[in-house]
Structure 1
Amino acid sequence: MNLLSLDHLAASYGATQALFDVSLTLGEGEVLALMGRNGMGKTTTVKTICRMLPMTAGRLSFSGQDLQGLASHQAARLGIGLVPEGRRCFGNLTVYENLIAAARKGAWDFEAVLRLFPQLEERKTQLAAVLSGGEQQMLAIGRALMTNPKLLILDEATEGLAPLVRQEIWASIAHLKRETGLAILVVDKSIKELSAIADKAVILERGASVWAASMAELTPEITAQYLGV
């Protein structure tokens, strides 16, 4: 059974249509790479899934429930955890306060997040605003995990980070895939790293799904056609 299903989804920013025909499915425990050049609709798709942007056509379901009429907080309560583009930590709150702000009971608690990201242990009383970019990204992932989601969405989680920090983030995602039953949707441009963790991929172009298959079927020709500069 699919945990997440988008069927010919369309969405608009006011009078400007941004998504025209996006379809994808994600099962429990699967990792899906959502790919495409800049401006092709990846973040808009994420916003629509999380109910931060109204859909104008198609179907959107999660865990067997139609999401169309739900608000974003209702979708989150169903088990959708978002690590947004740009991290968006609460800068005037401490690391601990950020983590417990939206926490729900479950396996992911404060101690579990610190085991995944030990660097946050010594920072737990510091304001998020003074953390490095990598530490803020770890905090954003930890905050989403503490909602104990069924689906974790990572929107450009490694963008703008130093290479060593990027490796740490990818290692944490691989750990989540290996050790938990989380379904994960990853928006990223790093094909090498995505190939190591993603079960399948969907490529968007101009607000529509143009390619979908297992990650192993992503050939250099397809990469050049849809993802090259």
Structure 2
Amino acid sequence: MTATQAQEALLTCAGLDAGYGKGHPVVRGFDLVLRPGEVTALLGPNGAGKSTLLLTLAGLLPSLGGTMNLGDVPVRSGRARAMARQGLVLVPDDRSLFTQLTVRDNLTLAGRRGGSTVDQVLDYFPALGKRLKVAAGVLSGGEQQMLALGRALIQDPRVLLVDELSMGLAPVIVEELLPVVRRIADGTGAAVVLVEQHVRLALAVSDHAVVLVHGETVLGGPAEPLMADPVLLERAYLGEV
């Protein structure tokens, strides 16, 4: 990586180990460079370590080794609030909504003084505009995912981490939501890491892709040629690359 590329990077990971117990990393030696406005698809079979990695990037788990930089500033791992204040925002796979509060209240509570407004979020999710007074718990699954993304977006993320956007959703809803992730990256300049099981749909909105298998990076590169080579992707998932 050149000095110019390093200056452009929003988040850089080098040799990152992630897991739940010292000496027993689930993800080993992970390298990643995230630049403004780019979407990186983090792919791999169940149990590959993708969610563990996102929790570590978000500071909810301390790293077990390696380094992370936000811009050119080293990041101290395991400090979720500090990392959120610096612009690392996670959309977890359980969405973590306040189900008894309204859509508007969920968005307002997540907002920052002087930051994005509810109306700006609704530009990306107009369907929520008619549901502002409805409790989050009675929304459809697709609407809840929109709200979860909206809660992240209103925090003005520099790096947006999205874990399993499609969890529990019909494929047709996923087809509608994934292009919005692309729009968010393009419109805000945030770098996005997208963990997703719908491989082709994820690759279609991504600039880059990384495939994890058993905690190891087995394949990575621009998304378009990977999407054009399903045999290579299948071999990667099977650990044959």
What's the counterpart of residue 168 of structure 2? 160
Task: Give the CA deviation at 1:87.
Answer: 1.3
- 1:82 lines up with 2:90 in the alignment: yes
Distance 1:42 1:77 in 2: 23
- 1:14 lines up with 2:34 in the alignment: no
What's the counterpart of residue 5 of structure 2? none
What's the counterpart of residue 226 of structure 1? 236
Q: Which 10-residue stretch deviates more, 189-198 or 147-156?
A: 189-198
CA deviations over 1:140-166 (Å, ceiling 9, x no partner)? 000000101111111111222123321
- 1:208 lines up with 2:180 in the alignment: no
Distance 1:65 1:196 in 2: 32
- 1:2 lines up with 2:12 in the alignment: no
Distance 1:132 1:143 in 2: 16
Task: Give the CA deviation at 1:174.
Answer: 2.6
Task: Give the CA deviation at 1:222.
Answer: 2.1
Distance 2:222 2:45 in 1: 19
Distance 1:208 1:105 in 2: 40
Give 5+ residue unaligned stretches, structure 2.
Answer: 1-7
Distance 1:68 1:207 in 2: 22
Distance 1:101 1:180 in 2: 20
Distance 2:98 2:30 in 1: 32
Task: Give the CA deviation at 1:105.
Answer: 4.1
- Given the superposition, is the C-alpha separation of residues 184 and 104 from structure 1 closer, same or farther in structure 2, using an over 3 Å criterion? same
Bigger relative contact order (CA 8 A; separation at least 6): 1
Of 116, 120, 123 in structure 1, the residue corresponding to residue 131 of structure 2 is: 123
- 1:177 lines up with 2:185 in the alignment: yes
Task: Give the CA deviation at 1:52.
Answer: 0.4
- Given the superposition, is the C-alpha separation of residues 126 and 77 from structure 1 closer, same or farther in structure 2, using an over 3 Å criterion? same
Identity of aligned residues (%): 36
Residue identity opposite 1:123 in structure 2 = R
CA deviations over 1:43-95 (Å, ceiling 9, x no partner)? 00100000100111111111222222451010011011211112121112211
Distance 2:159 2:126 in 1: 23
Q: What secondary structure is seen at the aligned counterpart in 2 of 1:209?
A: strand
Scaled by the length of structure 2, the TM-score of the pair is: 0.88
Is the 1:103–1:109 contact (alpha carbons within 8 Å) kept by the matching residues of 2? yes
Of 23, 26, 46 in structure 1, the residue corresponding to residue 54 of structure 2 is: 46
CA deviations over 1:14-69 (Å, ceiling 9, x no partner)? 35431222111111111111111111010001000001001111111112222224
- Given the superposition, is the C-alpha separation of residues 173 and 22 from structure 1 closer, same or farther in structure 2, using an over 3 Å criterion? same
Scaled by the length of structure 1, the TM-score of the pair is: 0.93
Aligned runs of 1:49-198 on 2, under 5 Å? 49-69=57-77, 71-105=79-113, 108-198=116-206
Q: What secondary structure is seen at the aligned counterpart in 2 of 1:101?
A: helix
Residue identity opposite 1:142 in structure 2 = G
Aligned Cα root-mean-square deviation (Å): 1.8
Distance 1:120 1:166 in 2: 16
